[in-house]
Amino acid sequence: MGIFKPKYQVDAKTGYENVPGFVGIYEINRTILPVIEVERRPRNQADFYIIDVKKFAKLELYPPSTPQEKELKLSEEGFMYKVHDLNSDDTLRQEILDKKLDWLEKYPDPEFYLRQKVVLKIFEKFLLRILDPRAAIGIKTSGS
């Protein structure tokens, strides 16, 4: 059986200290596993999971396939994006101004401010393919 150590009790650097949701480590058979809280969970789920990510699942990114998507630029990382220059895109700039957003109203000339900005829209098409469901286990702690 393993031992859970919260992050404030971990002696050595693990490399996960700055990962959002890092709560500590689980030591089992001299192996150290990082414990990362992903989201709140219903009571009937396990308290935490141990996952061999490379064996468990694969994220497959898909290139643009529709005519609208093909107009977008494709990054090296596999996501599609489009940059809207608010200085030249009168329609989008006016849509933003018409919303009367609180953060924008603090500027003396909101239109002038927007003309110096861009809107970046990012799109991803992907599928999370489960390779081996046995490569992940849920561990229920006592009292849950």
Specify the DSSP element, H or E, that contains 111. Answer: helix 110-114
What does the pLDDT look like over 113-130, one tens digit per residue?
999 999 998 887 888 899
pLDDT, mean of residues 89-109: 95
**Which 8-state DSSP code applies to residue 133?**
G
More confident call, 47 vs 96: 96
What does the pLDDT look like over 34-54, one tens digit per residue?
887 766 656 555 567 788 888
What does the pLDDT look like over 77-90, one tens digit per residue?
667 888 999 999 99
Q: Tell me, what's the pLDDT at 52?
A: 85
Q: Tell me, what's the pLDDT at 144?
A: 47
What average pLDDT does the chain have? Answer: 82
Q: Tell me, what's the pLDDT at 142?
A: 60
Give the whole-angstrom CA distance, residue 144 versus residue 141.
6
pLDDT, mean of residues 1-26: 78
Tokens 């150590």 belong to 5
